[in-house]
Amino acid sequence: MRMRAAIAMVSAVVSAVVLVGTTVPAARADGPQDTYSYLVLTRSVGAAGTLLAESAVRQAGGVVVQAYAPVGVVVAHGGPGFAAALRGRPGVARVGATRTVPIRATAPVPPAVGAAPAADPGEAPQWNLAMVHAYEAQRITEGSPDVVVAVVDAGVDDRHPDLAPNFDAALSVDCSTGRPIRAGAAWRAPRSDHGTHVAGTIAAARNGSGVVGVAPRTRIAAVRLGDADSLFHGEASVCGFVWLAEHADRGLRIANHSYYDDPWWLLCPDDEDQAVIQEAVRRAAAYAAAHGVLSIAAAGNDDYDLAHKTVDRRSPNDAGRAPDRPRPVTAACRMLPAELPGVITVAALGADGRRASYSNTGLGVIDLTAPGGGAGEGVLSTARDGGWAIKSGTSMATPAVSGVAALLAARHPTWTPAEITARLYATADPLPCAAPCTTSGNVDSYHGHGLVDALRAVEPADRPDPGRP
């Protein structure tokens, strides 16, 4: 598999394209109109181009929610006919809706899956940390408070006793509406403890109780994207990536993304709304990468080969019910952020060391694998109300890789994302690949380069490999 290098900055000019249909209903002639959320791509990146697009939004009857001049993206609200009214106006290259339902409509929150409450574990050994040799690596380094890992997720409870010692409120934000909000500790998740669980695996403090993270001296920041319904929309992703870029100079070097962008599990370029979301998020991710932020993302829990896409059974998911029927898709469709250029994509292993049955696969898509749980044994980490819980998923595997990346960033303060990535790949432990797993060179469709190995990663490069079973 190719090694995906850090992505370059976006070009200054965006070409106009032929428009296709939209998923937002047409405007009604009578009665109050619903309000939808839109992403607007400007014709040129920078302040002048963004101001021109903002003016066009207002002239078309819309409201500017937030403008991101460095990436040429404007978040706007408008009625069902807003996109048609805006297209073709000065400064506007493309416009697309980020959801299929009005923003004031809410979908029911599904019950938690794969979570079980746990008593205070008293820093009991954690099998997932042992699998990646984190305990041995911590004898060399436990990370550094000079390194910050952003938990880009549904929010983090910074009051948890295992997280509070390492939490950085000054670098935390709520981006769920498409604009950065910090007042009232808005980065805390209103209902989900998903991000809190992820944060514990990365950097729960070594404090004599609870759990310990892979990098227990690393700072944690919460970048909340999930809304009250735990949905992650495109405008939230743009806000999140721009926040990462603009705070990289304060130590924010690693970002953990254990989610996918709603409501489209796979974003396809032949639909204008989806194409605009894909391009807006790509621009923002490129901006973060150019500022030295390494993003690490979950591959997803669909037992799906992302290298051979045929159907999407999950989209759209914002109407509070499953889609009526699967939709055909092609290789051009992408799951974001896992399939963004320059992002490390992580699959999951069970406690038995085999591919977790739910984990997505894909030759050329999966970069690394890590323990995510399954087959009766999940990952223990921090949870709501100062407690702990056991969860399984690629969401639980990804923070193990982010923790190892944080250890590397502490050991090598001047290393770039590309150098950290190269070290993670070079020191991963190859795993058996039996059919239907496929290989190409030293990577395979289940594990990418292999199982992330914290000890091999942080050891001096000239030290002989101690060898392991």
Residue 257 lies in a domain: yes
Q: Is 106 part of a structural domain of the chain? A: no
**Residue 414, domain extent:** 116-458
Best CA proximity match to 140, nearest among 463, 397, 458: 458
Question: In angstroms, rounded to a whole number, what is the distance separating the alpha carbons of residues 175 and 1?
Answer: 33
Could you write out the DSSP letters of every residue in 71-113? GTEEEEEE-TTHHHHHTTSTTEEEEEES-SS-TT--PPPPPP-
Q: Note the helical H segments in 148-204.
A: 194-203
Distance of CA 411 to the CA centre of its chain: 24
150/274 same-domain check = yes
Q: Residue 92 maps to which CATH number?
A: 3.30.70
Q: Are residues 322 and 378 in the same domain?
A: yes
> Which residues lie below 8 Å from residue 430, measured CB to CB, with a gap of 6+?
442, 447, 449, 450
- Amino acid 14: pLDDT: 30
Does 207 lie in the same domain as 85?
A: no
320 shares its domain with 429 = yes
- The DSSP symbol for 25 reads P
pLDDT given at position 209? 84
The pTM of the full predicted model, rounded to 2 decimals, is 0.89
| Residues 53, 173 within the same domain | no
Count of CB atoms situated within 10 Å of the CB of 80? 18
Question: Is 190 found in the same domain as 67?
Answer: no
Which of 50, 66, 97 finishes a domain?
97
In a domain, 15, yes or no: no
If you count them, how many residues does the chain have?
469
Clarify whether residues 144 and 221 are in a common domain. yes
Q: Are residues 77 and 185 in the same domain?
A: no
Classify burial at 433, counting beta carbons within 10 Å of its beta carbon; exposed 0-12, middle 13-18, buried 19 or more: middle
pLDDT tens digits, 364-416: 999 999 999 987 789 999 998 899 999 999 999 999 999 999 999 999 999 99
Q: What is the pLDDT of residue 466?
A: 42
Going from the first residue of the chain to its last (469 residues), give the mean pLDDT of each consecutive group of 10, the final group possibly shorter: 30 30 53 86 95 96 97 96 95 96 60 52 81 96 98 97 97 98 93 95 93 97 94 97 98 97 96 98 98 98 97 91 88 98 97 96 98 89 92 97 98 97 98 96 97 96 46
Indicate the residue among 97, 124, 147 that finishes a domain.
97
Same domain for 419 and 330?
A: yes
Judgement on whether residues 50 and 183 belong to the same structural domain of the protein: no
The answer to the question of residue 210 being in a domain is: yes
271 and 354 in a single domain? The answer is: yes
Residue 402 lies in a domain: yes
d(CA 265, CA 260): 7
Judge whether 392 and 197 are in contact, CB under 8 Å.
no
Residues 170 and 52 in one domain: no
CATH number of the domain bearing residue 377: 3.40.50.200
pLDDT computed for residue 24 by the predictor:
66
Q: How many domains does the chain have?
A: 2
Q: Please report the pLDDT score of residue 306 as a whole number.
A: 98
Residue at 104 is within a domain: no
For residue 109, is it within any domain? Answer: no
What is the predicted pLDDT for the residue at 25? 58
Q: Is residue 30 part of a domain?
A: no
